[in-house]
Amino acid sequence: MRYRMPTMDEQHTRGYVEHQLRLAGRRQRLFTDEALIQIFVQSGGIPRAIGNLALTAMYHAAAQGKDLVELDEVVAAAKEVI
């Protein structure tokens, strides 16, 4: 059986990322507004692409010792996963 999830708009993309972070135990803000907008733009609202892009951006931020994922990390992540 195959199921294709519909794409998300910008608001749902933000909610999806924040929900996944809450499920993982994160209560504080992790992504800047600009980073979340860029995740939406680069992923096209596709749930799997949103997750892959957010995760890779978090790796980039962690590698630089940052506590907040910013636009630059999402741009770098998009070059790798999209």
CATH number of 24's domain: 1.10.8.60
Task: Give tens-digit pLDDT for 3-37.
Answer: 788 899 999 999 999 999 999 999 999 999 999 99
5 in any annotated domain: no
Two tokens, residue 32: 């800047």
- Residue 23 falls within a domain, yes or no? yes
Quote the pTM value.
Answer: 0.92
Residue 4 located in a structural domain: no
* Assigned domain for 2 exists: no
**In-domain check, residue 34:** yes
The predicted-structure confidence for 46-64, as pLDDT tens digits, reads as follows 999 999 999 999 999 999 9
Token output for 45: 């609202």
* Domains in the chain, number: 1
Is residue 1 in a domain?
no
The boundaries of the domain holding residue 55 are 10-81
Burial of 48 (0-12, 13-18, 19+ CB in 10 A): exposed
pLDDT in the model for residue 5: 81
